[in-house]
Structure 1
């Protein structure tokens, strides 16, 4: 199987600088409520970020970078990168990248993910705000109990750029579902629905994660010995894959993507 090509070295260099500047180590925490909704038919913030197909890619990557970089109260960036630097960091074309960065920052501001604070003669300062309680201050997820931890290597090694918005959203959802479990998990339809991701997003994201060596999908029986036992997909995310660089050899035993779905 041909592995996807890796992101550009210049973009990786900018991401590494951002990680070093933030002095991040370990994992970046996100609340379960960012990934999964407890209210039927209300899409969680992550799903809202990626809705609209490829249009969500820049704003998702921007938001994830801002969350990684804003490390201390009040979780703001008084001297954020200029649009040209953001464009290089996100591997956007120099001709259109800065404009796309500006429009997506404004989108994040309008939709309640961040606040842009105008500064005379400078780019606006950026402040994270709560996505669960609109208008309320941002609270670090690790201070609220259970959280979804994304290894810092997701940024440092360039997986942020390697994976599409679709695959990234599914990766977050599967890590939330996996929690502290030590073996593959079947995810019931009701729980799948709570992530707000469409069937097409689930299918295409799954195949992409398999191609990149993050995901193993197995078929396991569900139901008691006295009931009809249907074979279902069980999912396992190999978080050691974050330590590798995109394009590196797949872990031993990584299966080819399957077309079967529940």
Structure 2
């Protein structure tokens, strides 16, 4: 829920000063994120508060309206938000992720792994092995990685191939090589 909410905010607050002066109400967020109408507004409020408490956003109360939302640094340090592309390399997610309903269909862990793989594969279109040390940088447990990987494969967004790693003189073992199929984002997800 937090990731979906945060990704939606970043999708909406695209220009300086990276804020939403008239954000959706909790009921509006509930409809946008396809949440249960009874509990959704409370979930939205609780998760907006969490994002604020952890300094990913700043919530500015407004009389008679939902609090204005201002994006803060993605590092969670409370510093001013800057477009990732202004600081060098960044990971983009195609707009179809939102417009075709992928944000709502994928679990938050699968959405996170999709973004992780976009960065880890560095834009390469051929299958690539991701070293354990690099995988560990993202803080996803082995179980989380595996479950999210299976979901992305089931949706046709990820192809995993077994390829030998190592040189002629090394012990050669089969390892997973990952390849994203971002063209699949142009089509609606498989609703489960």
TM-score bracket, normalised by the shorter chain, equals: over 0.9
Shift in Å at residue 133 of structure 1?
A: 6.4
SS of the residue 1:117 aligns to: strand
SS of the residue 2:115 aligns to: helix
Question: Which residue is 2:53 aligned to?
Answer: 110
Structure 2: unaligned runs, 5 residues or longer? none
Structure 1: how far apart are the matches of 2:112 and 2:76? 21
Question: Which residue is 1:89 aligned to?
Answer: 32
Structure 1: how far apart are the matches of 2:149 and 2:116? 11
> Aligned runs of 1:1-262 on 2, under 5 Å?
58-132=1-75, 134-247=77-190
Question: Which residue is 1:8 aligned to?
Answer: none
Structure 1: unaligned runs, 5 residues or longer? 1-57, 249-262
Structure 2 contact 125–180 (Cα < 8 Å) conserved: no
Structure 1: how far apart are the matches of 2:25 and 2:78? 25
Structure 2 contact 56–76 (Cα < 8 Å) conserved: no
CA RMSD in angstroms, aligned pairs only = 1.1
SS of the residue 1:85 aligns to: helix
Shift in Å at residue 186 of structure 1?
A: 0.4
Shift in Å at residue 132 of structure 1?
A: 2.3
What do residues 84-141 of structure 1 show as CA deviations (whole Å, max 9, x unaligned)? Answer: 0100111111111001100000000001110000111111000000022612110011
Structure 2: how far apart are the matches of 1:96 and 1:208? 26
Across the two proteins, how many residue pairs are aligned to each other? 191
Structure 2: how far apart are the matches of 1:134 and 1:176? 22
SS of the residue 2:139 aligns to: coil
Structure 2: how far apart are the matches of 1:106 and 1:144? 28
Higher relative contact order structure (alpha carbons within 8 Å, sequence separation ≥ 6): 1
